[in-house]
Structure 1
Amino acid sequence: MEWQLEPVLTRFQALTQGLLASLPNVVLGLVLFALFWFVSGVLRRSVQALAERAGQPAGIARVFGRLAAWVSLALGVLVALTVIFPTLTAASLFGALGVSGVAIGFAFKDIFQNLLAGLLILITRPFRIGDQIVSGEHEGTVEDIQVRATLLRTYDNRRVVIPNSELYTNRVIVNTAYDRRRLAVTVGIGYGDDIAQAKRIILDTLAGVEEIRSDPAPAVLVRELADFSVNLEVRYWIDPPIRREVVESQDRVLEALKPALIAAGIDLPLPTQQVLFHDQTKETDGDRTRQREGWPARADNPRSRAALTRPVETP
C-alpha cells in the first residue's frame, strides 16, 4: 500500500495560507481586546471612585467596579471574535448567545439568583457588615457580604454561609439596626403579695442599674396569672443593643431584683403542685351538693373522710 502524501501536503498548505491570511485579523482582534482590557481597568477605578463619592461603602464600591470591568471585558471578547472570524457576524453571535444563555440560565439559576440578590442587598443595604441579625435558625454578626453569599459569625464562634437569595426573600431581624433596644425579663410573685408594692420595688431597683436608660423609662406590667405565681414583665431600654450587652444587662437586672424583692417580703414562689381527692380536705368536700369542684350532685352522698376520721363525742 502506497502512502499518498500529496493530499496531506495540499491540506497543510491550504491551512498555512489561511492562517497567514487571517493573521492580520488575529493581530487586530488581540489589539482590540487589549484596548478593552485597558478600558475595563479605567472603568473599574472610575466606577469605584464614583460609588465612594456617592456615599457607598468601600466593599460595595469595589463590587460595582468589578462588575463594570467584567461587562467591558465581555464586550471586548465579542468584538475580538467578530474581527478574528469575519464569517461570525454580530447577529449570529448574539443569536448563539441567546440560545446558550437560556440553557445556561436554567443550569445556573440558583447562582444567578444569589448574584442578583447579593447586588440588591449591597444596593439597598437592609443590614451592613458588623450588624447582628437573625435569619431563620441562625443568629450572629455579619462578617462579610459577598456577591453570592453572606458570612455570619454565630455567638459560639462558628461561621454560617447563607445564600443571598435566602436573606433577600425571607424575613431577617436586624438587632443592631437602631442605637437602643428594649429588653424584658419575667419575675413571678406570690398571689398574696401586693402587686403595686412589687412594682415600686422593681422600678426603684432598676434605677440603680447603670446600663438601663432613664428615657424611655422602665415599666412593669402584669402579664399572666399563672398556676403558682403572678408574672410581672419588667421592660427596660439599653444601648448599644449588641448581644453581649443584652445578656449582661439581663443578668445584672435579675441579680439585683432577687434580693430587693426578698428583703421587702415579696414571695418568689417555686412551681408547686397539690393533688387532693374530692373528699380528702374538709367535710364539705364529700358533699356533692355543696362542693365546687364540679362533681355531679346526688342524693346519697357518702360521708367525707374528715367526718369519718372525726372522733365520736360521748355524752
Structure 2
Amino acid sequence: MRFVEPLYQQARSMWLGFIDMLPLLVVALVALLITWCVSAILTVVIRGSLKNARIRRSLRDLFISLSKVTVWIIGSLVAVTIIFPSLTPGKMLTALGLGSVAVGLAFKDIFENFFAGVLIMLRKPMRINDFVECEGVSGRVEQITVRETYLRKTDGQLVLLPNSFLFKNPVYVVTDLAVRRFDLVVGVAYSEDVDRARQVIASALEKVEGIDQQRGIEVYAREFNSSSLDFTVRWWAESEPIHMHKSRDRVVTAIKYALDEAGVEIPFPYRTLTFKDPLSLTSQRDDTPWR
C-alpha cells in the first residue's frame, strides 16, 4: 500500500489540474470552432470572388488553400495561447520561424517548384494546348499545377517537367501565334544563273497550298558552299506541328519539281583532290590465259 498512495496523490493532482484547465479548454475549443467558421466563410467568399475571374482553376484552388491554412494557423496559435498562458505569441512565432527555416532547407526543391508554378500561373506565358519547347523537350501543354507542368509529346508520351525547370530555362511557345516562319536552305550549281534560280524557287512557293502569301516569300542568296551556291528560303505557315511538317514537305517537293523542270542543277557534294607533285603511275598486265 505504500506504493499506491503516491500514485493516488499524483492522479488526484492531475485530475484537479484538468478540472482547473477545463474552462480554458472550452474557450480554446470555441476559438477553434470560430476558426472553422471563418475558414468556411472565407472559402465561400474567395470562390465567389474568383468565379468570374479569368484565372486558372488550379491557381484559384491554391488561393483558397493558402487562405484556409493561414486562418487555421492563426486560430491554432490563439487556442494554444489560451491553454498555455505562459506561452506568449512572441515565443510561438520565434519557434515557427526557426522551424520554417529548417523546413525550407529540407524541402528547398519542393518550395522552388511551388513558387515557380505560382509565378507561371500568374504571368501566363503559356496556355493549355500550347505547343512548347524547352531544352530539347517539346510537347503540348495538358495541365499546369503548382509543382509541375504536363507535356504531351508528338509520339504520345507524357512528360512531367518541374516548374522550376521551365522558369529557369528559355521556353519557346511555338503556337503563340497562328502562323510562324520557316527556313529552308536550297543549293544550286555554280554554273547556274543566280537570278534565274531565285525566280524559279520563288515562283514554286507561290503555288504551294497552306503558305501565308500575305506575309510574303523570301529567297536570298546565302553563301558559297563547297559544291553549291546556297539560298535561304523563308515562308510563313500554320504553327501547329502537323501543319509544320506538311508545309515543309510541300515546299521541298515543289522546289525540287520546279528546279528539275527549269533545268537548274541541284549538285551532289563532291570534292576535287590536287597533288603538289606529279604521281608516278605503273600499270601491270597479266597475260595468263583464262581456264
Secondary structure of the corresponding residue to residue 235 of structure 2: strand
Aligned length, in residue pairs? 283
For the pair shown, the structure with the greater C-alpha radius of gyration is 1
Equivalent residue number for residue 249 of structure 1:
247
Deviation at 1:52, TM superposition (A): 4.3
1:281-311 Cα deviation digits (max 9, x unpaired):
xxxxxxxxxxxxxxxxxxxxxxx98xxxxxx
Q: How does 1:88-167 map to 2 (within 5 A)?
A: 88-167=87-166
Assess if the C-alpha contact under 8 Å between 1:32 and 1:80 holds in 2.
yes
The separation in 2 between residues aligned to 1:3 and 1:155, in whole angstroms, is 82
Shift in CA distance, 78/229, structure 1 to aligned 2, threshold 3 Å: same
Secondary structure of the corresponding residue to residue 215 of structure 2: coil
Shift in CA distance, 196/3, structure 1 to aligned 2, threshold 3 Å: farther
Equivalent residue number for residue 278 of structure 1:
276
Counterpart of 1:263 (choices 258, 261, 276) is 261
1:99 corresponds to which letter in structure 2? L
Assess if the C-alpha contact under 8 Å between 2:56 and 2:121 holds in 1.
no
1:233 and 2:232 aligned: yes
Assess if the C-alpha contact under 8 Å between 2:81 and 2:87 holds in 1.
yes
1:82-115 Cα deviation digits (max 9, x unpaired):
2233332211111111122222222222222221
2:231 corresponds to which letter in structure 1? L
**Cα RMSD for the two superposed structures:** 2.4
Assess if the C-alpha contact under 8 Å between 1:132 and 1:141 holds in 2.
yes
Equivalent residue number for residue 212 of structure 2:
213
Shift in CA distance, 261/49, structure 1 to aligned 2, threshold 3 Å: farther
Secondary structure of the corresponding residue to residue 53 of structure 1: coil
Secondary structure of the corresponding residue to residue 91 of structure 1: helix
The TM-score normalised by the length of structure 2 is 0.87
The separation in 1 between residues aligned to 2:272 and 2:224, in whole angstroms, is 18
Please list every run of 5 or more consecutive structure 2 residues that lacks an aligned counterpart in the other structure: 281-291
The separation in 2 between residues aligned to 1:69 and 1:210, in whole angstroms, is 56
Equivalent residue number for residue 223 of structure 2:
224
1:28-81 Cα deviation digits (max 9, x unpaired):
323322332332233234323333434223333232222222222222222222
Equivalent residue number for residue 79 of structure 1:
78
The separation in 1 between residues aligned to 2:173 and 2:135, in whole angstroms, is 12
Deviation at 1:175, TM superposition (A): 1.3
The separation in 1 between residues aligned to 2:141 and 2:33, in whole angstroms, is 39
1:233 corresponds to which letter in structure 2? T
Assess if the C-alpha contact under 8 Å between 2:221 and 2:230 holds in 1.
yes
The separation in 2 between residues aligned to 1:274 and 1:90, in whole angstroms, is 86
Shift in CA distance, 41/272, structure 1 to aligned 2, threshold 3 Å: farther
Please list every run of 5 or more consecutive structure 1 residues that lacks an aligned counterpart in the other structure: 281-303, 306-315
Deviation at 1:163, TM superposition (A): 2.1
1:132-182 Cα deviation digits (max 9, x unpaired):
222212111222211122222222222322222222232222112223211
Q: Which moved more, 1:36-45 or 1:7-16?
A: 36-45
2:269 corresponds to which letter in structure 1? P
Percentage of pairs with the same residue: 35
Shift in CA distance, 181/217, structure 1 to aligned 2, threshold 3 Å: same
The separation in 2 between residues aligned to 1:199 and 1:105, in whole angstroms, is 62
1:184-241 Cα deviation digits (max 9, x unpaired):
11111111112222222222221222211012101111122110111111101112x1
The separation in 1 between residues aligned to 2:8 and 2:80, in whole angstroms, is 29
Secondary structure of the corresponding residue to residue 220 of structure 2: strand
Q: Which has the higher contact order (CA 8 A, sep 6+)?
A: 2
The separation in 2 between residues aligned to 1:190 and 1:3, in whole angstroms, is 114
